[in-house]
C-alpha cells in the first residue's frame, strides 16, 4: 500500500469545462450553448437561476477526492472569474485554498483558452517541484492527452476527473486512473438534483443547506473515499482520521467537544460503525447508507 503521508498532489481544474459539461449533463446535450447568451445577460432571471442552481458543481467533492491521494501542495482553477456563472464559486474555492487563475474574457471561451495555460503551468510545476508524486487533471477535453502523457513520462501518477458523457475516451485512456465527477462521494445524481431544484424555492433550498451538518458530511465523504481506495469494508480508524485531516486541515475532534477521534465517530451512529473488539480500532460506513 502506498504511503499516503509522502504523496504530494497537485490539482488543476479547467473550471469552465467542468461547469459547462455538468450543465449539459443535468439539462441535456448542448444546453449550455443554447442558454449561454441568457446566462451572460441575466443569470438572475428566474428560469436561468433555477437551471444554474440545478447544475451547481460540488467543489468540495472534487477537492476531497484529490486529497484522498495524499497531501495537496497546490490547487489551481482556470476560468474567466468575471463571468457570473464562475464568479458564484469564488468564495467556495478560496475557502479551500484554491488559486484562481484568471483567463482573459476574450480567451475564456475560445478553443484552448484554458488548455494551453493549464498545460504550461503543470509542466512548469513538475520541474519546479520535483517532489510532486500525483497530478489530478479535472477536465474532459482530448487536448489534455499530451499533457497526461508528459506527466506520466516524468514519473507522476496522473488522475483524471471529468463529467460522464462529456469526457473524451482518449483522455480517460491516457491517465493512470480516471473517475467521473458524477461518481464522487457527495455528488447528487443529475436527475435528483434537477427534481430537487424544481420542487423547492430558492429560500427553502437555502434553509435546507443551513440545516446540513458539514462535519457529518465530511466524515461520510472520508469513509466513502477510503473504502473506494482500499476496496475494504472495514477501515483503520487512524487512516480515516488522516484522510479527514487532509480534506480539512482545520478539523479537530477536541475542538468539536470530543475527547478522542473514536468518540467523535460514535457521535454519528447513522453514518459510521466502530469495531473496538481488537487493539486496532476499525470503522465502516453504516451499511444502511
Could you tell me the pLDDT band of residue 272, with boundaries at 50, 70 and 90? very high
- Does the pTM surpass 0.85? The reply is no
Q: The CATH number of the domain where 265 resides is what? A: 3.30.420.610
For the chain, percent of residues with pLDDT exceeding 90: 65
pLDDT at 28: 93
Could you tell me the pLDDT band of residue 4, with boundaries at 50, 70 and 90? low
Could you tell me the pLDDT band of residue 203, with boundaries at 50, 70 and 90? very low
107 and 42, same structural domain? yes
Query: Final residue of a domain: which of 184, 211, 238?
Result: 211
Tens of pLDDT, residue by residue over 142-179, are 999 999 999 999 999 999 999 988 889 899 889 999 98
Tens of pLDDT, residue by residue over 232-248, are 999 999 999 999 988 88
Helix, strand and coil percent figures for the chain, each rounded to 5: 50, 15, 35
Q: Residues 213-233: what's their mean pLDDT?
A: 92
Contact 100, 34 (CB under 8 A): no
179 and 247, same structural domain? no
Residue 201 has pLDDT above 50, yes or no: no
Q: The CATH number of the domain where 110 resides is what? A: 3.40.50.1010
pLDDT at 249: 74
pLDDT at 129: 95
- Three cell numbers at 2? 502506498
pLDDT at 212: 63
27 and 68, same structural domain? yes
Instruction: Please indicate, yes or no, if residue 162 is contained in any of the structural domains.
Output: yes
Q: Which domain holds residue 267?
A: 214-285
Residue 260 has pLDDT above 60, yes or no: yes
Number of domains in the chain: 2
Q: Of all helices (H) and strands (E), which one includes residue 149? A: helix 145-153
Q: What is the mean pLDDT of the chain?
A: 87
Instruction: Please indicate, yes or no, if residue 105 is contained in any of the structural domains.
Output: yes
Q: Residues 222-239: what's their mean pLDDT?
A: 94
223 and 204, same structural domain? no
Instruction: Please indicate, yes or no, if residue 3 is contained in any of the structural domains.
Output: no
50 and 32, same structural domain? yes
Tens of pLDDT, residue by residue over 50-107, are 999 999 999 999 999 999 999 999 999 999 998 888 999 999 999 999 999 998 765 4
Residue 194 has pLDDT above 70, yes or no: no
232 and 181, same structural domain? no
191 and 244, same structural domain? no
Could you tell me the pLDDT band of residue 230, with boundaries at 50, 70 and 90? very high
Where b means 16+ CB within 10 Å and e means fewer, 140-173 reads bbebbbebbebbeeeebbbbbbbbeebbbeebbe
Residue 207 has pLDDT above 70, yes or no: no
137 and 24, same structural domain? yes
Could you tell me the pLDDT band of residue 192, with boundaries at 50, 70 and 90? very low
Task: Give the C-alpha distances (Å, rounded to integers) separating 14 from 26, 180, 199.
Answer: 19, 14, 31
C-alpha 252/C-alpha 264 separation (Å) is 10
267 and 174, same structural domain? no
- Three cell numbers at 74? 497546490
Could you tell me the pLDDT band of residue 112, with boundaries at 50, 70 and 90? low
pLDDT at 289: 82
Instruction: Please indicate, yes or no, if residue 89 is contained in any of the structural domains.
Output: yes
Amino acid at each position: 500500500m502506498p504511503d499516503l503521508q509522502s504523496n504530494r498532489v497537485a490539482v488543476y481544474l479547467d473550471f469552465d469545462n467542468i461547469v459547462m459539461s455538468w450543465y449539459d449533463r443535468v439539462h441535456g446535450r448542448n444546453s449550455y450553448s443554447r442558454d449561454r447568451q441568457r446566462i451572460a445577460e441575466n443569470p438572475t432571471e428566474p428560469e436561468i437561476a433555477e437551471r444554474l442552481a440545478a447544475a451547481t458543481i460540488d467543489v468540495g467533492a472534487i477537492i476531497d477526492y484529490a486529497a484522498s491521494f495524499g497531501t495537496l501542495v497546490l490547487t489551481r482553477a482556470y476560468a474567466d472569474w468575471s463571468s457570473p456563472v464562475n464568479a458564484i464559486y469564488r468564495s467556495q474555492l478560496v475557502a479551500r485554498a484554491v488559486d484562481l487563475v484568471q483567463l482573459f474574457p476574450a480567451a475564456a471561451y475560445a478553443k484552448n483558452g484554458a488548455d494551453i495555460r493549464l498545460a504550461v503551468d503543470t509542466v512548469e510545476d513538475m520541474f519546479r517541484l520535483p517532489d510532486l508524486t500525483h497530478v489530478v487533471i479535472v477536465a474532459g477535453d482530448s487536448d489534455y492527452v499530451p499533457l497526461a502523457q508528459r506527466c506520466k513520462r516524468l514519473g507522476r501518477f496522473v488522475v483524471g476527473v471529468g463529467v460522464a458523457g462529456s469526457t473524451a475516451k482518449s483522455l480517460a485512456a491516457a491517465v493512470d486512473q480516471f473517475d467521473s465527477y458524477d461518481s464522487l462521494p457527495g455528488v447528487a445524481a443529475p436527475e435528483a438534483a434537477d427534481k430537487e431544484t424544481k420542487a423547492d424555492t430558492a429560500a427553502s433550498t437555502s434553509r435546507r443547506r443551513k440545516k446540513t451538518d458539514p462535519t457529518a458530511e465530511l466524515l461520510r465523504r472520508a469513509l466513502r473515499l477510503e473504502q473506494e481506495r482500499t476496496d475494504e469494508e472495514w477501515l483503520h480508524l487512524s487512516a480515516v482520521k488522516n484522510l479527514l485531516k487532509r480534506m480539512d486541515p482545520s478539523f479537530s475532534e477536541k475542538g468539536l467537544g470530543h475527547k478522542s477521534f473514536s468518540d467523535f465517530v460514535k457521535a454519528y451512529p447513522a453514518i459510521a460503525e466502530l469495531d473496538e473488539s481488537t487493539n486496532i480500532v476499525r470503522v465502516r460506513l453504516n451499511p444502511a447508507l
